[in-house]
Amino acid sequence: QAGIDILKAGGNCIDAAICTNAMLGLTEAASNGIGGDLFAIVWIEKDRKLYGLNASGRAPYDWNLESAAAMGLNSIPRVSPLSWNVPGCVSGWGALNSRFGKLKLSQCLESSIDYAVNGFPLSPIISTYFEFDPKQAPSLASVFHPGGQRPSYGDVFRNPMLANSYRLIAEGGPEAFYQGEIAERIVAASNMLGGKMSLRDLKDHTANWVDPVSSNYRGWDVWEIPPNGQGIVALQILNLLEHF
Residue 49, pLDDT score: 96
Give me the DSSP letters along 53-100. Answer: EEEPPPPPTT--HHHHHHTT-SS--SSSGGG-----HHHHHHHHHHHH
Residue 149, pLDDT score: 94
First-to-last C-alpha distance (Å) of the chain: 41
Mind listing the pLDDT tens digit for each residue in 131-168? 999 998 888 899 999 999 999 999 999 999 999 999 99
Residue 202, pLDDT score: 98
d(CA 81, CA 216): 39
Residue 78, pLDDT score: 85
Mind listing the pLDDT tens digit for each residue in 69-87? 999 999 998 888 999 999 9
Residue 137, pLDDT score: 85
Surface-to-core class of residue 149, CB atoms within 10 Å of its CB (0-12 exposed, 13-18 middle, 19+ buried) = exposed
Residue 79, pLDDT score: 83
Residue 41, pLDDT score: 97
Query: Which parts of the chain sit beneath pLDDT 50?
Result: none
Q: At what angle do helices 13-27 and 160-172 cross, to 10 degrees?
A: 150
d(CA 237, CA 5): 37
Look at the pTM and tell me if it is higher than 0.85: yes
| Phi and psi torsions of 222, nearest 5° | -115, 130
Q: Which run of H or E residues covers position 232?
A: helix 231-241
d(CA 87, CA 180): 14
| Phi and psi torsions of 217, nearest 5° | -120, 110
- The count of C-alpha atoms lying within 13 angstroms of the C-alpha of 51, restricted to the half-sphere facing its C-beta, is 17
